[in-house]
């Protein structure tokens, strides 16, 4: 692939770091993290090397779903701070070359949102059509997005004698995006936060946003009582994207679209019509875990081969952990059980019969070799890497905390009280700190910053290597065949250069021979993560890898003037 002007497509090779403000740093000792505390840690993030900061929801909320139940899209939760402090975060990050994106949660509101309170006041309310109502729910049970929490996505309202739609919790009624005033509100929300300086949005649960509502109405729904057909939901996603581009031509939308690769392609848009600029690759993420369990690279190779070709300005978001349960829903039942048995043997480590509520280091038993190999692999794959806060130091989870909150624990800054997160009493913290072998006594940012052999130092090296390798974000992928299924070898090529990455999934050393296609005479391989230069003999190469070993090798020649 040819790399041209990349300034307006920065997301192609961004390093994205997701954090929950209320669990990052408490500046006023009330037990809850806040924007002022985050501003104090922007230099830490700059030192790490990230280029994009993704903020989880910080709007006003009752907090029944960790801020995803919003009561005011134009307000900041008072526990987290105010608009002056938000703008300070944006400005401080910008000064250090870090863009900020934030969650856009427009599937639903809290049932305490003024719109919904007015909506359920009367069937004649002008806000009635802001939500999806129905006289009778479907006869077939339709479980919510959280199996076990609700048997149906329809909840009966005693006052108005109708059912309202909620694809998530019953206290999160779905917005009716087919209703023009709702679309106008969403545009105002996007425009409002863009004016404050955000560079885009992570769009929550996109398939539920644009598809479920259009199919859920029916002739007896208040919102859909007319005979007019509903608008194409993908047209609406393109409308949001177009509106955002008009407000900020360099802004992007990163979508949570947990579907097959083929289905995801539609959400990027077609031709000149853009919908999402980025999407998380759930399929590849899940294949990585299956490959880790089997010590076999083939599941990963199959998933990558299944990736469709994307429009030139679009990108995959690669990750091995996020803020939700580690979903394994794209694996077969037998494959999912394999991963459960290896990485979540206790049923209490699992959630919704599809996911794991643990972080990567604990799943891998704290094996530093394997942990580093997994992150090296993630960063080397074509796409943009996405980190969840604490991954850079190898944080674990607290299984004593319910559901998804097990991995949303306070950031571990020091070995001191409350992990240096807050000086409030421990029982007043928003979430308890991790304890045991992955507690702050053993895992914290302060100690790792001073230790050149720490995971934090490795992650900084990895991020720098990625940022020095634009071909990873822009190039074309070639998976190399070599006869050893334990090793994944791939080549990423762009007009600016090529990089070879090799990863050993096995717990034993391996030696393999590779043939590199179309290598110019006199080329050599420069090791990007370790020292050394390896000559290439007519494209033939022999490599030895330690157990869980990995190599990043840039194909270069005397004419190459790059530093990395």
Distance CA 104, CA 278 (A): 14
Look at residue 19 and tell me whether its pLDDT is greater than 80. yes
Indicate which residue of 26, 174, 256, 392 is catalytic.
Answer: 256
Q: Read off the pLDDT band of 150 (50, 70, 90).
A: confident
Please give the DSSP secondary-structure letter assigned to residue 209.
I
Quick check: do 10-107+180-207+234-324+367-466 and 473-556 share a fold? no
Angle at the Cα of 386 (from 384 to 392), degrees rounded to 5?
A: 125
Look at residue 216 and tell me whether its pLDDT is greater than 50. no
Q: What pLDDT, in 10s, does the model give residues 111-126?
A: 999 999 999 999 999 9
Q: Read off the pLDDT band of 509 (50, 70, 90).
A: very high
Instruction: Please give the residue that has the higher pLDDT: either 220 or 455.
Output: 455
Q: Read off the pLDDT band of 4 (50, 70, 90).
A: low
Average pLDDT, the chain: 93
CATH 3.30.1490.190 assigned to 10-107+180-207+234-324+367-466: no
The predicted model scores a pTM of 0.95
Give pLDDT, residue 3. Answer: 57
Distance CA 380, CA 466 (A): 7
Give pLDDT, residue 146. Answer: 79
Q: Does residue 204 have an active-site annotation?
A: yes
Helix or strand holding residue 498 (H, E) = strand 497-504
**Dihedral sign from CA coordinates of 498, 261, 252, 41:** negative
Strand extents, DSSP E, 158-249:
162-165, 200-203
Q: What pLDDT, in 10s, does the model give residues 194-214?
A: 999 999 999 999 998 876 554
Taking a C-beta distance cutoff of 8 angstroms, is the pair 389, 20 a contact? yes
Q: Read off the pLDDT band of 242 (50, 70, 90).
A: very high
pLDDT above 70: percentage of residues in the chain: 93
Give pLDDT, residue 534. Answer: 83
Residue 501 has φ and ψ, to the nearest 5°, of -125, 135
Q: Does residue 129 have an active-site annotation?
A: no
Give pLDDT, residue 270. Answer: 86
- Measure the CA dihedral 114/117/119/122, to 10°: -140
Across 555-562, average pLDDT: 68
Give pLDDT, residue 141. Answer: 65
Give pLDDT, residue 210. Answer: 74
Give pLDDT, residue 15. Answer: 98
Query: Where along the chain do its domains lie?
Result: 10-107+180-207+234-324+367-466, 473-556
- CATH of 473-556, picked from 3.40.640.10, 3.90.70.10, 2.40.50.110, 2.60.40.1180, is 2.60.40.1180
Look at residue 2 and tell me whether its pLDDT is greater than 90. no
End-to-end CA distance of the chain: 20
Indicate which residue of 204, 275, 391, 392 is catalytic.
Answer: 204
Q: Read off the pLDDT band of 224 (50, 70, 90).
A: very low
């Amino acid at each position: 692939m040819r790399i041209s002007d990349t300034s307006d497509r920065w997301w192609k090779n961004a390093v994205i770091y997701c954090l929950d403000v209320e669990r990052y740093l408490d500046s006023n000792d009330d037990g809850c993290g806040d924007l002022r505390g985050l501003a104090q840690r922007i230099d830490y993030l700059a030192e790490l090397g990230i280029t994009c900061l993704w903020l989880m929801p910080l709007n006003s909320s009752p907090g029944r779903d960790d801020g995803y139940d919003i009561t005011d899209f134009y307000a900041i939760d008072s526990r987290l701070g105010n608009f002056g402090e938000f703008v300070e975060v944006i400005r401080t990050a910008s000064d250090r070359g870090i863009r900020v994106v934030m969650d856009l949660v427009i599937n639903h509101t809290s049932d305490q949102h003024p719109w919904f309170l007015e909506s359920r006041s009367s069937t004649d309310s002008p806000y009635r059509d802001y939500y999806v109502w129905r006289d009778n729910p479907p006869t077939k049970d339709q479980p919510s997005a959280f199996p076990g929490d609700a048997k149906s996505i329809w909840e009966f309202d005693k006052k108005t004698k109708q059912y309202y739609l909620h694809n998530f919790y019953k206290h999160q009624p779905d917005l009716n995006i087919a209703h023009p005033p709702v679309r106008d509100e969403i545009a105002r929300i996007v425009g409002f936060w863009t004016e404050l300086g955000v560079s885009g949005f992570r769009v929550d649960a996109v398939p539920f946003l644009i598809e479920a509502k259009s199919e859920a109405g029916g002739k007896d729904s208040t919102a859909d009582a007319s005979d007019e057909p509903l608008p194409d939901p993908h047209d609406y996603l393109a409308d949001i994207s177009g509106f955002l581009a008009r407000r900020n031509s360099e802004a992007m939308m990163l979508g949570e679209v947990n579907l097959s690769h083929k289905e995801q392609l539609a959400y990027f848009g077609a031709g000149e019509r853009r919908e999402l600029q980025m999407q998380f690759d759930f399929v590849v993420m899940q294949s990585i875990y299956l490959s880790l369990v089997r010590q076999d690279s083939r599941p990963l190779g199959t998933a990558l081969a299944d990736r469709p070709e994307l429009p030139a300005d679009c990108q995959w978001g690669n990750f091995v952990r996020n803020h939700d349960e580690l979903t394994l829903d794209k694996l077969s039942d037998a494959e999912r059980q394999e991963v459960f048995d290896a990485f979540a043997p206790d049923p209490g480590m699992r959630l919704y019969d599809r996911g794991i509520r643990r972080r990567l280091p604990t799943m891998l038993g704290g094996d530093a070799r394997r942990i580093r190999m997994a992150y090296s692999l993630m960063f080397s794959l074509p796409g943009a890497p996405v980190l969840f806060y604490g991954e850079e130091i190898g944080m674990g989870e607290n299984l004593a905390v319910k559901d998804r909150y097990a991995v949303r624990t306070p950031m571990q800054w020091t070995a001191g009280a409350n992990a240096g997160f807050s000086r409030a009493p421990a029982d007043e913290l928003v979430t308890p700190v991790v304890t045991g072998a992955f507690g702050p006594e053993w895992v914290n940012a302060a100690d790792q910053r001073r230790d050149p052999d720490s995971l934090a130092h490795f992650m900084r090296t990895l991020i720098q290597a990625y940022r020095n390798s634009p071909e990873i974000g822009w190039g074309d992928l070639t998976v190399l065949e070599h006869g050893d299924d334990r090793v994944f070898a791939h080549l990423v090529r762009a007009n600016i250069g090529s990089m070879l990455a090799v990863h050993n999934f096995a717990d034993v050393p391996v030696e393999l021979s590779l043939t590199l296609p179309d290598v110019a005479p006199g080329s050599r391989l420069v090791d990007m993560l370790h020292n050394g230069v390896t000559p290439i003999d007519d494209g033939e190469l022999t490599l030895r890898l330690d157990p869980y070993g990995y190599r990043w090798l840039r194909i270069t020649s005397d004419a190459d003037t790059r530093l990395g």
